[in-house]
Structure 1
Amino acid sequence: MSNFIITFKDSATKDEIQKFKDEVTSGGGELGHTFDGLLNGFSAKIQPETLQLFQQQASISDSVIENIGSYLHF
């Protein structure tokens, strides 16, 4: 598992973000901090399979995902 910060576009709803959080935990990952100020998103330890799904979703033009960034410490 690797550490990531997933940020979402301003248009993303709390329900849409929650679906991604649920995918992290159901895929064997661990949620970290939720950001709901200047950043709209969360940090998590994500399994490679879940990361691949998120990356595929992010590549769609109308995706609610703004960015997927890796970091070293959780």
Structure 2
Amino acid sequence: MSGRYIIVFKDKATRAEIEQFIDHLIAEGKIHAHYDALFKGFSASVPDNLVSLFAVDRIIDFIEPDGIVTTQV
């Protein structure tokens, strides 16, 4: 089983490190959207067994569940 998450990299993460991370993820998950305007990251479906492994990776700033955000005016 997998869930959908937003994965954000630390500012110090290099392009090569991020590409290597993405290659690892693609082997078992699916990337939905890349974010690079405000932060380095992406949304992806990640197998549950990889979430805790990725969370302690030295280039990851944070991982959080992806979802819809709404506001009221």
Scaled by the length of structure 1, the TM-score of the pair is: 0.79
- Ranges in structure 1 where 5+ consecutive residues have no aligned partner: 58-62
- Note the 1:31-46 alignment, pairs <5 A: 31-46=31-46
Structure 1 residue ranges (4+ consecutive) displaced by more than 3 angstroms after TM superposition: none
Deviation at 1:13, TM superposition (A): 0.7
The residue type equivalent to 1:10 in the other structure is: D
Corresponding residue of 1:56 = 56
For the residue of structure 1 that corresponds to 2:55, the secondary structure is: helix
- Which structure has the larger Rg? 2
Structure with the largest fraction of helix: 1
The residue type equivalent to 2:22 in the other structure is: K
- Ranges in structure 2 where 5+ consecutive residues have no aligned partner: 69-73
Scaled by the length of structure 2, the TM-score of the pair is: 0.80
Structural RMSD (CA):
1.4
The residue type equivalent to 1:48 in the other structure is: D
